[in-house]
Structure 1
Amino acid sequence: MAPSFEDGKSLFNFVVRDGNGVKGMVDLGLSKVPEQYIQPPHERIVKLNASVHELPPIDLSKLDGPDHDQVANDIANAAEVLGFFQVLNHGIPLELLESLKSSANDFFGQAPEKKAAFQKGLSPSPHVKYGTSFVPEKEKALEWKDYVSMVYTSDADALSYWPNECKNVALEYLKTSTDMVKKIVKVLIAKLGVTLEDSKFEALIGLRMVNMNYYPTCPDPELTVGVGRHSDMGTLTVLLQDGIGGLYVKLEEDMDGEKKGEWIEITPVPGALVINIGDTLQILSNGRYKSAEHRVRTTSSQSRVSVPIFSIPKPTERIGPLPEVVESDGVARYREVVFEDYMNNFFSNAHDGKKSLDYATT
């Protein structure tokens, strides 16, 4: 039975508990945004008030040539100033990126009960979860997004339990991106003047997760958000966005005529991937690198998909400012924490800017 969009409990049960998601609600026909999804005015993204910023993509292939030092400087500078940059010639076939977007649409285009089979408590694997919003039970206003999250433990596990519509292409995306992630993180660690043992380096990107996000069309995008203000908890995020756009980043420093605190849109570049710094790298660098606050706008014209890969530390890894950086800075701005504790805190609270970093702040 269809819910009453005026009845909060009925709507919540239909969208969240029964696994129909925002897409299931939209497919029933919507002429206005339900009250549960209306964001307070200060959280809304008014497109006309935001800057569109064309970040010149970084050519990653030049890291292997005579321009290595310049490219390394560009990567480090982007990590220090914005926490976001785009890369081309990244080694991931463009055909694979197109297949990823298609497979995401295939998964979310299924009947609701097919997707709901991967809900927490029902999923055949604890490493695969289908859901909606971020922490629906704790949010004052829900996010206009459905997602499926797939944690990598082994090829066999992925091929057995990840959804059939996307498992092969998602696994290939994760595996072919590994060298790129390692290159970028190695550059950033080296620019801090630090050399890490291989085991420590591997532990910092030891857990990987692929998400597929789906943002259905919305009757009034300016009242909602696809994803609220947050920073990512891990070391590095690789994001494939489609050509529709809607990713906004908050400036932590003045940049190219834009002022600190303003929001800019990261315009999609064909064939490029978006890279962003996570909280872990901000902590390791003692604040030199920025895990930028970002959010996603919805659209009224067409649904949007994005596919991030999160490279995060192993849960047992202790993370804190690297000793060499603390010695140089003269003060440690963060305390050492076990990453699993940091992660549990992150997932137990609604999105609220960079508040997650408070857990590790001295």
Structure 2
Amino acid sequence: MAHCTIPVIDLEDFPKQSTKLVQACEEWGCFRIINHQGILSEPLAAEMKAVVRSLLDLPDEIKRRNTDVIAGSGYMAPSKVNPHYEALGLYGISSSEAVEAFCAQLDASPHQRETIKLYARAVHELAMAIVRNLAKGMGLAGFSFEKWPCQFRINKYNFAPETVGSSGVQMHTDSGFLTILQDDENVGGLEVMDRSGAFVAVEPLPGTLLVNLGDVANAWSNGRLCNVKHRVLCKEATVRLSIATFLLGPKEAAVEPPPELVDSAHPRLYIPFTYEDYRKLRFSNNFHSGEALALVRADSS
């Protein structure tokens, strides 16, 4: 197992960090961010983690009220594939109506509702700041991600002594563009794959957030950005909590590269596709690690 050497990006040091950010997205497909407290403060992140813990401790019959808006966006109970993992989901975090519906499903208290609202607003703003800086670094200052939907997934890993060394979540890529992960500040287990195919342990680093790029980022960038493979292993017998915020893809428009990223030296790699159609490709073929991109390659026929 390699030591963690993933890049660290200072959110308060742009445009100086632009080149480093683009390189991290091309070579790793992931990075940690520091100095994000002006958007998402540490006290708010800590309070949200407390809310997450209490929601995931609810009885199963309440958690199951958290139903899908799109496939896989609601409650996920432990399964044969991921027996130690469960999660709650909120699709459309920038919508006050969606946040209210999520809170109502779980009988959230007024304090919990307010914390979720504040966190949703802050993490969405943070996602927009990250992709805005990335687009500028790639020479695409006019590109906007503002209308792309985002969703939460709040995760709980129930690890026991007999599960140490086993998988918490199998190796996968994320289907969307970008994921902001507030990982467990005390419990490790997350690993990302580098370009050599080796897994690199991503140890907890309090006060930071981890960002992963997914399949849509690879397609949107015409293959320039890396959709990082990652997994979670059980390192110790304890509960591990994390909060993932996904910037998915355009709601109705096709995923395709901006014209600036396509030329004779960089021909179009993928046919245009909608995010929902791509999700269906992944689900219907039981693909987890970016394999569905081969089905939308421009030269696949």
Equivalent residue for 1:249, pick from 189, 192, 207: 192
Cα 1:263/1:98, change in 2 over 3 Å: same
What is the root-mean-square deviation of aligned Cα atoms in Å?
2.5
Equivalent residue for 1:150, pick from 85, 90, 96: 90
Equivalent residue for 1:132, pick from 77, 83, 91: 77
Counterpart for residue 320 of structure 1: 256
The alpha-carbon deviation at position 268 of structure 1 amounts to 1.5
User: Is the counterpart of residue 104 in structure 1 residue 52 in structure 2?
Assistant: yes
Equivalent residue for 2:178, pick from 236, 247, 264: 236
Describe the superposition over 1:322-346 as per-residue Cα deviations: whole angstroms up to 9, x where unpaired: 3221216332222211222112223
The alpha-carbon deviation at position 351 of structure 1 amounts to 5.1
TM-score normalized with structure 2 length? 0.86
Describe the superposition over 1:37-96 as per-residue Cα deviations: whole angstroms up to 9, x where unpaired: xxxxxxxxxxxxx22315453210112xxxx23x11111111011011001111211011
TM-score normalized with structure 1 length? 0.73
Describe the superposition over 1:97-146 as per-residue Cα deviations: whole angstroms up to 9, x where unpaired: 111221111112122222233355xx9x999621125xx5xx7x334210
Describe the superposition over 1:127-186 as per-residue Cα deviations: whole angstroms up to 9, x where unpaired: 9621125xx5xx7x3342100010126213312433316543233222112332222212
Task: Give 1:61's aligned amino acid.
Answer: E
Distance (Å, rounded) in 1 between the aligned partners of 2:295 and 2:90: 26
Q: Is the 8 A contact 2:149 2:249 kept in 1?
A: yes
1:275-286 alignment, distance < 5 Å: 275-286=211-222
Counterpart for residue 154 of structure 2: 212
The alpha-carbon deviation at position 222 of structure 1 amounts to 5.2
Distance (Å, rounded) in 1 between the aligned partners of 2:51 and 2:265: 46
Describe the superposition over 1:192-215 as per-residue Cα deviations: whole angstroms up to 9, x where unpaired: 3334454xx334xx2010110000
1:1-362 alignment, distance < 5 Å: 50-55=1-6, 57-63=8-14, 68-69=15-16, 71-90=17-36, 91-119=39-67, 129-133=74-78, 136=79, 141-152=81-92, 154-162=95-103, 163=106, 164=108, 166-198=112-144, 201-203=145-147, 206-221=148-163, 224-243=166-185, 244-252=187-195, 260-327=196-263, 329-350=265-286, 352-362=288-298
Q: Report SS of the residue matched to 1:176.
A: helix
Describe the superposition over 1:292-315 as per-residue Cα deviations: whole angstroms up to 9, x where unpaired: 011111243211001010011233
Cα 1:361/1:144, change in 2 over 3 Å: farther
Task: Give 2:188's aligned amino acid.
Answer: G
Task: Give 2:234's aligned amino acid.
Answer: T
Distance (Å, rounded) in 2 between the aligned partners of 1:231 and 1:99: 28
Q: Is the 8 A contact 2:192 2:201 kept in 1?
A: yes
Task: Give 1:209's aligned amino acid.
Answer: Q
Distance (Å, rounded) in 2 between the aligned partners of 1:306 and 1:218: 17
Distance (Å, rounded) in 1 between the aligned partners of 2:102 and 2:211: 28
Describe the superposition over 1:273-306 as per-residue Cα deviations: whole angstroms up to 9, x where unpaired: 1011121111111111101011111243211001
Q: Is the 8 A contact 1:251 1:263 kept in 2?
A: yes
Cα 1:274/1:325, change in 2 over 3 Å: same
Name which one, 1 or 2, has greater alpha-carbon Rg: 1
Task: Give 1:130's aligned amino acid.
Answer: Y
Q: Report SS of the residue matched to 2:47.
A: helix
Distance (Å, rounded) in 1 between the aligned partners of 2:266 and 2:9: 32
Q: Give the gaps of 5 or more residues in structure 1.
A: 1-49, 253-259
Aligned structure 1 segments of 4 or more residues deviating by more than 6 angstroms: 125-128
Cα 1:80/1:143, change in 2 over 3 Å: farther
Describe the superposition over 1:199-249 as per-residue Cα deviations: whole angstroms up to 9, x where unpaired: xx334xx20101100000133335631111111111211100012111110
Distance (Å, rounded) in 2 between the aligned partners of 1:87 and 1:268: 13
Q: For structure 1, which segment, 352-361 or 267-276, has the greater mean C-alpha deviation from structure 2 after superposition?
A: 352-361
Task: Give 1:181's aligned amino acid.
Answer: A
Q: Report SS of the residue matched to 2:269.
A: coil
Q: For structure 1, which segment, 171-180 or 241-250, has the greater mean C-alpha deviation from structure 2 after superposition?
A: 171-180
Q: Which has more helix, going by share of residues?
A: 1
